[in-house]
Structure 1
Amino acid sequence: MSDPKRESAELSGTVNREARFQERLVRLPEVMARVGMRRSAIYQRMRDGSFPRSRSLGSKCTVWIESEIDDWIKSVEAT
């Protein structure tokens, strides 16, 4: 016989792992369009610690995690 609690926990763990791997990475032009700021303003706020940090995927590839940008937008809307 199967244990419904165990199956539920296993399914929940699978969903959490899948959600973590479905995180979208966005490049600077999309970040600029979504937040309505220019490159210099974004990088200044990153230095100040008031904007999500970018990640480097190589010498010429910088990305942001979409959910962090979304959270920042929500925090600005709330103020």
Structure 2
Amino acid sequence: MTAPTFLTVRQVAERHAVSVPTVWRWARERADFPKPQRLGPAATRWRLADLEAWEKRGAAS
């Protein structure tokens, strides 16, 4: 079994062609957007598999 891949907020923003503040707003305001994972006191990341599932549902449009 492989370890999950995590993306930074900047990588998520680039993936969806939006700004970093937009990603944080989505995380705060959109119930369907994947929630970030706290990996440490200064490390918040999104699980790639969660983002891919969200994209597949068509919610990224």
TM class by shorter-chain length?
A: 0.7 to 0.9
1:23-47 Cα offsets, whole Å, 9 max, x none, are 2111112111111121211111111
Counterpart of 1:8? none
Q: Which has the higher contact order (CA 8 A, sep 6+)?
A: 2
Normalising by structure 1, what TM-score? 0.61
Structure 1: which 5+ residue stretches go unaligned?
1-17
Give 1 or 2 for the bigger CA radius of gyration.
Answer: 1
Counterpart of 1:72? 54
More strand by share: 2
Contact 1:35 1:73 in 2 (8 A): no
Q: How does 1:1-79 map to 2 (within 5 A)?
A: 18=1, 21-48=2-29, 49-76=31-58
More helix by share: 1
Q: How many residues align?
A: 60
Contact 1:51 1:72 in 2 (8 A): yes
Structure 2: which 5+ residue stretches go unaligned?
none
Q: Percent identity of the aligned residues?
A: 20
Normalising by structure 2, what TM-score? 0.75
Q: Aligned-residue CA RMSD in angstroms?
A: 2.1
Moved over 6 A (4+): none
